[in-house]
């Protein structure tokens, strides 16, 4: 079942990139306006702004508060929160896509995104609870992502509420903690590596277009360059987490056997 989903993912990259662009480009256009005062001080002084959204942890948050002072704390928090929310939306969308593709359903990316947005308030609740747990326990950088990485895809796959998705992710992840200690860091590292490489291209292009200077007239170009790493990083990471969530259901609960039995029962009913 997971192999089937992985095979389809390789042939449906356009769907994944479309979802990522629809979610992340508007976010980074907003941030390009909100953080205009910081970015306008020149790329040489603000290169970190383009990279910090890749690593949502207290260290980078502290760096942002220390460096991005022109726009104020609210803008700094927006720079951290909005891309993270976007990743949660893409993660839930990939949950729908991976699950449907594993079952043989030809679901399109924008259709899956629409299903997620219809329950957007519930996903926002999930995002808030997970980050509150990570902040309050001070283990979000390591343990939090390890145990809650599957929460967003599970929320979509099983139609759960915010707290139920968190509990499901915790219980399934604890049962397979050993393999997750390898798969989650590897998936994160590979995604960040590819996204970072793409981001470097965007940053070079932006430097060439603006002569190393980001001003009001370059807001759209700034947004594009800042979004480039996420257009690749987010779908890679989201698909990885969705496949991990599906694999957890298969390995812990025998979900593939459950589906096969359901199909057999449906065939018997037709006969």
pLDDT at 82: 85
> Given this model, what pLDDT does residue 235 score?
85
**What is the model's pLDDT at position 132?**
81
pTM above 0.85, yes or no: no
Distance of CA 132 to the CA centre of its chain: 18
Q: In a structure prediction context, what are the per-residue pLDDT tens digits for the chain, which is 271 residues long?
A: 566 667 767 788 888 889 999 998 888 878 777 766 665 554 444 445 444 444 444 444 454 555 545 556 677 677 778 888 998 999 999 999 999 988 888 899 999 999 999 999 999 999 998 888 776 665 555 566 667 788 999 999 999 999 999 999 888 888 887 777 777 777 767 766 665 565 556 555 555 555 554 444 456 666 666 677 777 778 888 888 888 888 888 888 887 766 666 655 555 565 5
| pLDDT attached to residue 195 | 58
How high is the pLDDT of residue 54? 45
**Can you give the pLDDT at residue 44?**
44
């Amino acid at each position: 079942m997971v192999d089937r989903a992985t095979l389809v993912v390789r042939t449906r990259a356009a769907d994944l990139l479309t979802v990522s662009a629809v979610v992340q480009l508007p976010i980074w256009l907003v941030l390009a306006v909100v953080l205009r005062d910081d970015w306008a001080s020149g790329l040489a002084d603000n290169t970190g702004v383009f990279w910090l959204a890749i690593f949502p942890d207290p260290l980078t948050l502290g760096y942002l508060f220390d460096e991005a002072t022109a726009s104020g704390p609210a803008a700094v928090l927006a720079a951290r929160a909005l891309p993270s929310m976007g990743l949660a939306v893409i993660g839930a969308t990939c949950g729908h896509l991976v699950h449907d593709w594993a079952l043989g359903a030809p679901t399109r990316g924008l259709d899956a995104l629409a299903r997620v947005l219809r329950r957007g308030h519930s996903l926002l609740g999930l995002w808030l609870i997970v980050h509150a747990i990570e902040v309050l326990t001070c283990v979000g950088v390591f343990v939090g992502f390890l145990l809650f990485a599957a929460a967003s895809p599970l929320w979509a796959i099983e139609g759960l509420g915010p707290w139920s998705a968190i509990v499901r992710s915790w219980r399934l992840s604890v049962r397979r903690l050993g393999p997750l200690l390898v798969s989650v860091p590897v998936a994160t590292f590979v995604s960040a590596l590819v996204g970072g490489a793409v981001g470097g291209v965007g940053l070079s292009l932006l430097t060439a277009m603006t002569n190393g200077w980001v001003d009001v007239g370059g807001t759209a170009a700034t947004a594009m360059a800042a979004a480039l790493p996420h257009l690749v990083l987010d779908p890679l990471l989201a698909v990885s987490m969705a496949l991990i969530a599906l694999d957890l259901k298969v390995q812990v609960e025998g979900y593939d056997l459950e589906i096969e039995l359901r199909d057999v029962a449906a065939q018997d009913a037709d006969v």
